[in-house]
Chains A and B, each alone.
Chain A
Amino acid sequence: MNEKKSKIKNWKCGVCGYERSAATPPESCPQCSSGSGEFFERKEKTKLRYDGKKYDVLLINGSIHKTHNTGKICDMAEVELRKKKISYLRINLSEYNIMGCWCCYSMADFACTYPCRNQLDDAPALHEHIINSKAVIVASPINWNNMTVTLKKFLDRLTSIQNRTLLGKTSLTVNKTFGIIINGHEDGAMKTAMDIFFYFEQLGYIMAPFGIGYKTHGAENKAETDNDFFKNNESLKKQIRGVVNNVSEMIKLDLEKKLKDKIKPVAE
């Protein structure tokens, strides 16, 4: 009996917050149907601190689910990054506490600063990862022909980095590289990719050639078949390999160093 009790853990769904005490997490969350992979052992969360480590690529999973379709695409991207011997850090945005942008900029130009005025959540530490990596690959699903709110909240918080150029300060992200991979059930992939593109363009990033990969399954198919479709689709795998390859080749060019102080910022 004591042995059984000691194996009971407090599980929490990372998507909806549902909690259960059990030896293992439920196969499917009763509140949101997310799979068992979305559960984590509930512990007191401490604010993320930047650990000083630098990576070539920041691989960002912009989905509310860390292990579902976009998660699987990130898994495949990780395999390709390892094959290329590119150092990377994968970030599942849903695992972090990221508040909405306070829009300090709307009060006055100078009110939006770097470091960000909001030091209450995990975004400042993620900012340091953005600044200290050479490239970003963003993977996102499609919600209503657009990125998820999870991803948008994070991208909006990059305003504090972007606003430096408006204030006449050195850009911390100019000449870095990025790529985008989109997956979705119905349509809206290219629109979603372009919405994401805009953020990085305004931050001074250079998109890798053929830097957008995407795949949608189709409204005629059941959502529960998406996972198998994306996992096994050869065209998607080719796109992921392509985006990772192209971002990797851009990193090798070291444009960040070669173009240093040569690019004139043009910002909103």
Chain B
Amino acid sequence: MTAKKDDKTEKKSLTKTDAQKMCICKSCPSYAECGDQIAYCIGKKSKCIKNEKGCICMICPVQQKMDFDKTYYCIRGDYKSQKK
């Protein structure tokens, strides 16, 4: 069986507002509510999330749209900082 064809669709950038509407941070086993702004992959780290109890970033629509490939943005920092 051969692999499926590549998806050649261009990746668009996302505003923070759009990302927060799409993102699934609140469903994550690591998530803790403390008034943070979610979509940590393009924003700031969480003030209160400290323990890596699991990560669901890899199936988040924001991650798919932006072609990100990191994890635990809430603890480790946004995509740009982890990419370095």
Residues of chain A whose beta carbon lies under 8 Å from any beta carbon of chain B: 47, 111, 113-117, 119-120, 124, 165-169, 264-268
CB distance from A198 to the nearest CB of B (A): 16
Chain A interface mostly helix, strand, loop or mixed? Answer: loop
Question: Total contacts A to B, CB within 8 angstroms?
Answer: 46
With A47-B52, A120-B54 given, is the CB distance from A115 to B4 under 8 Å? no
Per the bound structure, the CA–CA distance linking A265 and B5 in Å amounts to: 11
User: B59–A117 contact, CB under 8 A?
Assistant: yes
Per the bound structure, the CA–CA distance linking A266 and B2 in Å amounts to: 5
With A113-B58, A114-B58 given, is the CB distance from A119 to B71 under 8 Å? yes
Chain A residues with Cβ under 8 A from B3's Cβ? 165-168, 264-267
Cβ-closest chain B residue relative to A172: B69
User: A115–B54 contact, CB under 8 A?
Assistant: no
Cβ-closest chain B residue relative to A266: B2
Cβ-closest chain A residue relative to B6: A168
18 A-B pairs, CB-CB below 8 angstroms? A114-B58, A115-B55, A115-B57, A115-B58, A116-B58, A117-B56, A117-B58, A119-B52, A119-B54, A120-B54, A166-B3, A166-B4, A167-B4, A168-B3, A168-B7, A169-B6, A265-B3, A266-B1
Contact indicator per residue, chain B 1-34, by CB within 8 Å of chain A (1) or not (0): 1111111000000000000000000000000000
CB distance from A53 to the nearest CB of B (A): 14
Chain B residues with Cβ under 8 A from A114's Cβ? 58, 69
Per the bound structure, the CA–CA distance linking A117 and B72 in Å amounts to: 12
Chain B residues 36 to 84 lying within 8 A of chain A, measured CB to CB, are 52-59, 69-72
Cβ-closest chain B residue relative to A111: B59
Residues of chain B whose beta carbon lies under 8 Å from any beta carbon of chain A: 1-7, 52-59, 69-72
Cβ-closest chain B residue relative to A267: B3
Cβ-closest chain A residue relative to B8: A168
CB distance from A107 to the nearest CB of B (A): 11
User: B1–A268 contact, CB under 8 A?
Assistant: yes
Which residue of A114, A120, A264 has the most chain B CB atoms within 10 A of its CB atom?
A120
Chain A residues with Cβ under 8 A from B7's Cβ? 168
**Contact with B2, one of A115, A119, A120, A264 (Cβ below 8 angstroms):** A264
Cβ-closest chain A residue relative to B72: A119
Chain A residues with Cβ under 8 A from B2's Cβ? 264-266
CB distance from B24 to the nearest CB of A (A): 13
Per the bound structure, the CA–CA distance linking A265 and B57 in Å amounts to: 26
Chain B residues with Cβ under 8 A from A119's Cβ? 52, 54-55, 71-72
Which residue of A113, A119, A167, A268 has the most chain B CB atoms within 10 A of its CB atom?
A119
User: B1–A267 contact, CB under 8 A?
Assistant: yes
Chain B residues with Cβ under 8 A from A124's Cβ? 71
CB distance from A166 to the nearest CB of B (A): 6
Cβ-closest chain B residue relative to A160: B58
CB distance from B10 to the nearest CB of A (A): 15
